[in-house]
Chain A
Amino acid sequence: QSALTQPRSVSGSPGQSVTISCTGTSSDVGRSYFVSWYRQHPGSAPELVIYDVNKRPSGIPGRFSGSKSVNTASLTISGLQAEDEAEYYCCSYAGSNTLIFGGGTTLTVL
Chain B
Amino acid sequence: QLQLQESGPGLVRPSETLSLNCTVSGGSLMTSGYYWGWIRQPPGKGLEWIGSVYFNGNTQYSPSLKSRVSVSVDTSRKQFSLTLNSVTAADTAVYYCARRTLVGSTIDYWGQGTLVTVS
Contact = CB atoms under 8 A, between A and B. Distances in A.
B53 to A, nearest CB: 11
Interface in B97-119: 100-101, 103-108, 110-113
Task: Give the size category of B's interface with A.
Answer: 20 to 34
Nearest to B47: A101
Interface in B66-114: 96, 100-101, 103-108, 110-113
B47 A104 contact: yes
Contact of A36 (B62, B64, B104, B110): B104
Nearest to A48: B108
Task: Categorize the interface residue count of chain A.
Answer: 20 to 34
A96 B62 CA distance: 10
A92 B110 contact: no
B63 A104 contact: no
A5 B62 CA distance: 18
Interface in A29-45: 32, 34-36, 38, 45
A40 to B, nearest CB: 8
B105 A93 contact: yes
Contact of A45 (B52, B106, B113): B113
Contacts of B45: 104
B36 to A, nearest CB: 13
Interface of B: 35, 39, 45-49, 52, 60-64, 96, 100-101, 103-108, 110-113
10 contacts: A36-B104, A36-B105, A36-B106, A51-B101, A51-B108, A57-B108, A89-B46, A96-B60, A97-B60, A103-B46
